[in-house]
Amino acid sequence: MPSRYDSGMSDASVEHLAATLDLQTVRVVRQIAEHGSLTAAAASLGYSQPAVSQQLQRFEERTGIALVERVGRGIRLTESGRVLARHAFAVTTALEAAAGELAEIRGLRAGRVRLVAFPSASATLVPRLIASLASEYPGVAVTYVEAEPPEAVEAVRADRADLAITFSYPGDRDDPHRASARGLDVRAYGDEPMQLVLPEGHPAAESDVIMLDRLAGEPWIAGCPRCRGHLLELAGAAGFTPRIAFETDNFVAVEGMVAQGLGVALLPALALEASPRHPGIVTRPTARADVRSLHLVTARGAERVPAIGATLAALEALAAG
């Protein structure tokens, strides 16, 4: 014969109980344990007294677990109530720890951003960026690795980096705007002028700008594979196929070779800025003012990550300054 004293749901599962435990009840019970009365708990939580009263009633009806019992004109926690209050401390403490860390990240007092950029940015753009971030947000950790555009984009996709600085040139078959960056955010970050590099005294250097086809017969010193692709693209448009005499991805070496009269080269402006101007060379823009485009690649929505947003903002400031 069932007693009138059984709860009627004594065998409900622990999982279901955990799923129906709500934070409000946990907070309420914690405050009741600390203040001893329902009214004081309500005031402490910024609620009206009936609110917490109903909160408890809903919980008790839902779970069949009595948390408080009336005594006189007040209440006190039952055994279950005290048990929950004890755990409530652990729960709210863990939540506050989480909130603290999130606030640190949101306030840019913590966080990290993993940069990846092409090599010629390593000596110019990236150091300035890192210095700017470090002085403004000392709590944000910045890491940096070098990688050519295709690998850089892949690093973002595979979550090995947060922000990739890439470049592309018109006609580039690996243009980050195209398929390789599908599902990512790509921001244009301005254009970088291409500079022709000639030995001092080269006849073509007499004019301020140079038609590319004037150098059709020169031996060329090519850079990295993609830079070489850009050269071939531009030369093709100008109606000739350049004769590649040397190849190296070391820009300083390129300048040295040009100074030695071994050939001419086409270098992006950043590469030339990376080191003090090598003696014995001159640089001229192309007549068509050719450029390569810079891009910032992130996961979609990543600008809302404070550290990444701050990095994007710093990059904008660098471009403007």
- Residues near DNA (CB under 7 A) are 22, 24, 37-40, 46-58, 68, 70, 72-75, 182-183
Q: How far apart are CA 81 and CA 11, in angstroms?
A: 19
Binding-site size, a second copy (CB under 8 A): 76
Is the Cβ–Cβ distance between 251 and 195 less than 8 Å? no
**Phi, psi at residue 319, to the nearest 5°?**
-65, -35
Q: Can residue 12 be called a binding residue for a second copy (CB under 8 A)?
A: yes
How does strand 243-247 pair with strand 74-77?
Answer: unpaired
Q: Can residue 98 be called a binding residue for a second copy (CB under 8 A)?
A: yes
Compose the 184-203 pattern: x for residues touching a second copy by CB under 8 A, - for all others: x-------------------
**Of residues 84, 126, 269, 274, which one binds a second copy by CB under 8 A?**
84
Token pair, residue 169, equals 């040139």
**Residue 39, contacted partner among DNA, a second copy, none, CB below 5-8 A by kind:** DNA
Question: What's the min distance (Å) between Cβ of 297 and a second copy?
Answer: 11
Pick 51 or 123: Cβ nearer DNA: 51
**Residue 309, contacted partner among a second copy, DNA, none, CB below 5-8 A by kind:** a second copy
**Of residues 62, 128, 157, 284, which one binds a second copy by CB under 8 A?**
157
Question: What's the min distance (Å) between Cβ of 120 and DNA?
Answer: 29
Is the Cβ–Cβ distance between 88 and 29 less than 8 Å? yes
Q: Can residue 9 be called a binding residue for a second copy (CB under 8 A)?
A: yes
Print burial letters for 29-58: b (CB count within 10 Å at least 16), e (below 16): bbbbbeeeebeebbebbebeeeebbebbee
Is the Cβ–Cβ distance between 286 and 194 less than 8 Å? yes
Pick 177 or 284: Cβ nearer DNA: 177
Q: How far apart are CA 60 and CA 68, in angstroms?
A: 9
**Residue 48, contacted partner among a second copy, DNA, none, CB below 5-8 A by kind:** DNA
Question: What's the min distance (Å) between Cβ of 191 and a second copy?
Answer: 21
Q: How far apart are CA 91 and CA 96, in angstroms?
A: 9
For 150, 227, 231, 270, the CA distances from 273, given in Å and listed in that order, are 24, 16, 19, 5
Contacts (CB under 8 A) with a second copy, residues 14-73: 14-15, 17-18, 21-23, 26, 60, 63-66, 68-73
Q: How far apart are CA 126 and CA 115, in angstroms?
A: 9
Nearest by Cα to 244 from 261, 264, 271, 258: 264
Side chain identity at 249, as an amino acid letter? D
Question: What's the min distance (Å) between Cβ of 117 and a second copy?
Answer: 18
Q: Can residue 139 be called a binding residue for a second copy (CB under 8 A)?
A: no
Pick 49 or 80: Cβ nearer a second copy: 80
Q: How far apart are the first and last CA of the chain?
A: 85
**Residue 96, contacted partner among DNA, a second copy, none, CB below 5-8 A by kind:** a second copy
**Residue 37, contacted partner among a second copy, DNA, none, CB below 5-8 A by kind:** DNA
**Residue 43, contacted partner among DNA, a second copy, none, CB below 5-8 A by kind:** none
Dihedral angle of Cα 131, 133, 139, 145, to the nearest 10 degrees: -70
Pick 239 or 301: Cβ nearer a second copy: 301
Question: What's the min distance (Å) between Cβ of 56 and DNA?
Answer: 7
Contacts (CB under 8 A) with a second copy, residues 202-241: none
Q: Can residue 105 be called a binding residue for a second copy (CB under 8 A)?
A: yes
